[in-house]
A and B are shown apart, each in its own frame.
Chain A
Amino acid sequence: MKYMLLICSEGPFTADPAEMDPQPWIDMAGSRRLTGDRLRDAEDATTVRVRGGATLTTDGPYVETKEQICGFDVIDVADLDEAIEIASKHPMAAYGMIEVRPFWNG
């Protein structure tokens, strides 16, 4: 099953850069991780809506909160327990949180 891991922060935090290096985690996940990346801050986001045929473009995220999605990973694993295990080892799990979302089409 495929899951999207939404890597979230609860606001600014300080951490040892060595601890935040995702590479060991990426190596651990191996071929189970299909893709992923860090995202630019929400202040660099652009939100797009089409209403009545007109495209409305606004600066910033679609909802303003202290919490931010700061990265994502797509993994392909046997079940939720394996997804939880991988998510729990992500460096951001200890500082922010990881939302595990199953893919619609498995």
Chain B
Amino acid sequence: MKEAVGAAWSEEWGRVVAAVIASTGDWDLAEECAQDAFERALETWPRDGVPRRPGAWLTTTARNRALDRLRRAANESAKLREAARLDPAGPAAAAGSAEAQAVAAAEAAEGDAVPDDRLRLIFTCCHPALPLPAQVALTLRSLTGLTTAEIARAFLVPERTMAQRLTRAKAKIRHAGIPFRVPPRELLPERTAAVLAVLYLLFNAGYAPGAAGPDQRRVTAEAIRMTRLLTRLLPDEPEAAGLLALMLLHEARAAARTDAAGDLVPLEEQDRTRWDRQGIAEGVTVLEVALARRRPGPYQIQAAIAALHAQAAGPQDTDWPQIALLYAELARLAPGPVVELNRAVAVAMAHGPQQGLALVDALDAAGELPGYHLLPATRADLLRRLGRTEEAADAYRRALELAPTEAERRFLRRRLERTAGTQR
């Protein structure tokens, strides 16, 4: 029974919170009443059995609880009309226990679709008038039911700081009049991009090298769950599906990305038998459906690159010319020096290190990516493959000075030793 409630928590928390915000406009009340509804489920489900539609039961229970509380507050402050306006069933429904109402309404809703306000919730959490860290935190808190303490641990900030961030974000929504809605058509593309950016950032919280503790892994899992939900709520948005495919394809390789010591294993050295074939198959299927809509975007292209890597039997079987073309397309749609650096690697693999090196040197000469260790590290790899070992060793040393984590420094040191070894 605990498991049934626990499963409902992950699946339904966002729906319950969204429904209460939709009918009351009160974010704090929504969280409190969602919490209450789940506590009530823990009491009554063992006795009465799990309702046929747990989500509808929880939503109705939470909404009724919210209306009860507003009504009581309204009675106290003699603002009864406000509550009556909010209560679609009218004052008569106030009679009888909240539980009985919840059951009745859930049964009544059995045939109909329960209104899903989660899309409105996602867009509101990711409103550009909120600072990005607040968007990230609020999305997690409202949509996944992760507690403030869990979110704080995942992002390595004190719980008090995270609580203030959430309080501040909810206050701004209230004070500044940020609407609780799906943006109109003319705003939809840029606002969807903002939502996808937040979800990708959440995914990376547990995916960045050296950052994957259990709290971060949970955030990554929730990011995948939310993106999956978004593809259902926004079926006409191929970039949402593209992002889901990208996440699934990355996640399928997660187990092989680090060795026993927790060090990063580069793609070409990964044990491909440890890749999750089922995850790769799902990612590829999601991507193919998205690409069939013929509206490519940066996430679909990145997913296509990930799919080519994931489907190659070994490093030498990778379709590098195709990957180089995809990076060129990505550079056109979403230009940036990091994309250009990745393109250089693909070009080197497809057409030889000399051509890749020319692209890296152009980036270096333009002063792009100053202080970014992967620029000299990439340069070093290409120089090594060209047999220019002395220059390669110098570039590895430069990369070592810039590398931000110990895991990356260890990796570079090993490369440097190997290069210096061939020098002698």
Contacts and interface: CB of A to CB of B under 8 A. Distances in A.
A34 interface: no
A102 interface: yes
Contacts of A3: 177
Contacts of B175: 102
A3 B129 CA distance: 14
B179 A78 contact: yes
Q: What's the interface size class on A, roughly? A: 10 to 19
Contacts, number: 24
A94 interface: no
Interface in A1-45: 1, 3
B279 interface: no
A79 interface: yes
B183 interface: yes
A84 interface: yes
Contacts of A80: 127, 129, 176-179
A81 B187 contact: yes
A100 B178 CA distance: 12
B129 A84 contact: yes
Contacts of A102: 175-177
Interface in A47-106: 78-81, 83-84, 100, 102, 106
A61 B160 CA distance: 37
B179 A79 contact: yes
Interface core residue of A1, A81, A83, A100 (most chain B CB under 10 Å): A81
Contacts of A100: 176
Interface in B113-147: 127, 129
The majority secondary structure among interface residues of chain A is: mixed
A81 B176 contact: no
A76 to B, nearest CB: 11
Interface string B303-330: 0000000000000000000000000000
Interface in B46-64: none
B329 to A, nearest CB: 31
B79 to A, nearest CB: 16
A84 B178 CA distance: 10
A80 B130 CA distance: 12
A100 B127 CA distance: 15
A1 B387 CA distance: 68
A77 to B, nearest CB: 8
Nearest to B128: A84
Contacts of B178: 79-81
A71 to B, nearest CB: 21
A83 B175 CA distance: 13
A54 B325 CA distance: 73
Interface in B157-196: 175-179, 183, 187
Nearest to B178: A80
Nearest to A104: B175
A21 B374 CA distance: 50
Contacts of B127: 80
A79 B184 CA distance: 13
A20 to B, nearest CB: 26
A100 to B, nearest CB: 8
Contacts of B179: 78-81
B384 to A, nearest CB: 48
A78 B178 CA distance: 10
A74 B183 CA distance: 24
Interface in B97-117: none
B268 to A, nearest CB: 47
Interface core residue of B129, B177, B178 (most chain A CB under 10 Å): B177
19 contacts: A1-B177, A3-B177, A78-B177, A78-B179, A79-B177, A79-B178, A79-B179, A80-B127, A80-B176, A80-B177, A80-B178, A81-B178, A81-B179, A81-B183, A83-B177, A84-B129, A102-B175, A102-B176, A106-B177
Interface of A: 1, 3, 78-81, 83-84, 100, 102, 106
In order of increasing CB-CB distance, the 4 nearest A-B pairs are A79-B179, A1-B177, A79-B177, A80-B177
Given A3-B177, A79-B178, A80-B177, 12 more contacts: A1-B177, A78-B177, A79-B177, A80-B127, A80-B176, A80-B178, A81-B178, A81-B179, A84-B129, A100-B176, A102-B177, A106-B177
